[in-house]
A and B are shown apart, each in its own frame.
Chain A
């Protein structure tokens, strides 16, 4: 059964030598928790680039479509009103007037949707206890998650981690 152990480092500069040395010793580095974003660490960990952009595009399209539906229902289908000599006969005839609203709907869909997706994906919804193994990671420590496949190898892994410069191993 695999188990995750946590290596605590004091300085972000250490990570750039420690993570490759852990990897070359055959340990599997799965994640990093740090108090601030560390530039270039994603490539080092081998984490693929975020797909948030794709999510944002899809959510924007959703917001846009819902906006079109809303405007069509309100302004064309249910209660057409003649505003400024522009009777709402068809959606395409009055499109310029609706574009600001459609733009706002797109932004609303993309921004709120991304916020919710981010919370779900990071498993930090309101009321959920955040998975923080070591509290000082929110202050000044850097925690590398190391996955060990076999419980019998934990002691050996801890030794490797300590020799890579970790101040603490949990």
Chain B
């Protein structure tokens, strides 16, 4: 059993307090900046939680046993989904005017000088009621599956038997199909519709790849932190090696998709497509290049060798690099669209990030403290205990 010590709790409350102060400061000085920062971080941490659920689901469907020893960590991460989705909905309801250009009514009025024929053609998909329905639907699907899978897993601890495992197998298979659709459409809705004139068919996968890596990095850091607190004797460097492989592989996958999206647009050089990169290249050149370096070169060089993936210190460094890098990646997806050339990483952005990190950790640790850290009757548990590569 994990105990959520009061010392940890106080640190997390301090993080949340910093977040509240930073957001309040942001709203006083520049509301658009505060809204952008809230959207950026709500999406980022929600997606990390979603990747926790995705990790649990594909382990069930692949009938993989090696990760069962610490499967409660991604399970607990997924419990943040209900708060993350609620935050996204609230941010949309109250901040849509500052965030999403397509929500401005004058764009659709033919008599108005602001009338935009392209946007008017997209109203079938991009309209307020349908957008809200979609966000609610994502929340219900994600948080619902997280709840059901966790419930079965906790009952399995009490009752044993294969019944709960088989139920979760089916739930996980259905979830993966829905995830395949919703991970792409949610990226279009929440991030791509900020630059509503622009579209990229790869955007959903690109966002998914980046956030899957961050989810894995967060999981890796949480497991290593729990080990440093004296939990998880059953997790050894064979398990961490596999997590490291995942982080390494999906960092490359992210780069592959980043480059596929970039190269086609660069080569074709169509004005309506190149506009997205032009804004980022003109105003955020340093961050834009840094993004590629810290999300591709740093993980690939740090995590390439076998020995590196088997050492906790190196995994911690790589995990922190990946988390910061993909936070920057989401920053570059959101900010140039909402704030134009005025965005920068300052107190508001970092403070909001710390606030959301605090909230995320608070939810995760509270959930971890509710159940045994190692599932007791999972049929694959012996495989995880004897995992050796």
Residues of chain B within 8 A of A53, CB atoms compared: 304-306
In the complex the two chains form, what is the Cα distance from A54 to B259 in whole Å? 26
**Cβ-defined contact, B267 with A40, below 8 A:** no
Is B105 located at the chain interface by the 8 A CB criterion? Answer: no
* B267–A49 touching, CB < 8 Å: no
Question: What's the nearest-Cβ distance from chain B to residue A39, in Å?
Answer: 7
Tell me the nearest residue of chain B to A86, going by C-beta. B267
CA distance A149 to B263 in the complex (A): 63
Within 8 Å CB of B370, what residues of A? none
Give chain B's interface secondary structure class: helix
Q: How far apart are A30's CB and chain B's nearest CB, in angstroms? A: 24
Please determine whether A96 and B388 come into contact, CB atoms closer than 8 angstroms.
no
In the bound assembly, the distance between CA atoms of A30 and B188 in angstroms comes to: 59
Asked if B155 is at the interface (CB within 8 A of a chain A CB), the reply is: no
Q: Is B269 an interface residue (CB 8 A)?
A: yes
Chain A interface residue count, Cβ-Cβ cutoff 8 angstroms: 13
Q: Are A57 and B304 in contact (CB under 8 A)?
A: yes
Q: Among the interface residues A54, A57, A96, which one has the most CB atoms of the partner chain B within 10 A?
A: A96
Q: Do B259 and A40 touch (CB < 8 A)?
A: no
A96 and B263: CB pair below 8 A? yes
Any A CB within 8 A of the CB of B262: yes
Chain B residues in 8 Å Cβ range of A84: 267, 269
Q: Which of B267, B304, B305, B388 contacts A97 (CB 8 A)?
A: B267
**Which of B262, B263, B269, B306 meets A85, CB within 8 Å?**
B269
- Assess A39 versus B388: contact at CB under 8 Å? Given A49-B306, A53-B306, A57-B304: yes
A84 to B269, CA, bound (A): 10
The yes or no answer to A99 lying at the interface (CB within 8 A) is: yes
Instruction: Given the known inter-chain contacts A39-B388, A40-B388, A85-B269, please indicate yes or no for A99 contacting B263, CB distance below 8 A.
Output: yes
Contact with B along A83-122 (1 / 0, CB 8 A): 0111000000000110110000000000000000000000
- For residue B266, CB closer than 8 A to chain A, the reply is yes
Q: Which residues of B contact A39 (CB under 8 A)?
A: 388
CB-defined contacts of B388 to chain A, threshold 8 Å: 39-40
Kindly report which residue of chain A lies nearest to residue B304, judged by CB atoms.
A57
- CB-CB < 8 A to A86: which residues of B? 267
Which residues of chain B have C-beta atoms less than 8 A from A96's C-beta?
259, 262-263, 266-267
Q: Which residue of B lies closest to A40 (CB)?
A: B388
Q: Please, which residue of chain A has its CB at the minimum distance from the CB of B307? A: A49
CA–CA, A84 to B304, complex, Å?
37
Cα distance, A96 to B306, chains bound together (Å): 30
Residues in chain B near residue A40, CB distance under 8 A: 388
- Chain B residues whose C-beta falls within 8 Å of the C-beta of A54 in the assembled complex: 305
Q: Give chain B interface residues in 244-263, CB to chain A under 8 Å.
A: 259, 262-263
Contacting A at CB under 8 A, from B335-389, are: 388
* Interchain CA distance A40-B388 in the complex, whole Å: 8
Contacts of B269 in A (CB 8 A): 84-85
* Contact across chains for A99 and B306 when beta carbons are under 8 A apart: no
User: Nearest-CB distance from B256 to chain A (Å)?
Assistant: 9
Within the complex, what minimum Cβ distance (angstroms) separates B254 from chain A? Answer: 15
* Chain A nearest CB, measured from B273 CB (Å): 14
Alpha-carbon gap, A100 to B304, bound state (A)? 21
Q: List 22 A-B contacts (CB under 8 A).
A: A39-B388, A40-B388, A49-B306, A53-B304, A53-B305, A53-B306, A54-B305, A57-B304, A84-B267, A84-B269, A85-B269, A86-B267, A96-B259, A96-B262, A96-B263, A96-B266, A96-B267, A97-B263, A97-B267, A99-B259, A99-B263, A100-B263
Closest 6 CB pairs of A and B: A96-B263, A96-B266, A53-B306, A53-B305, A99-B259, A84-B267
Known A54-B305, A99-B263; further 8 A-B contacts with Cβ < 8 A: A40-B388, A53-B304, A53-B306, A84-B269, A85-B269, A96-B259, A97-B267, A99-B259
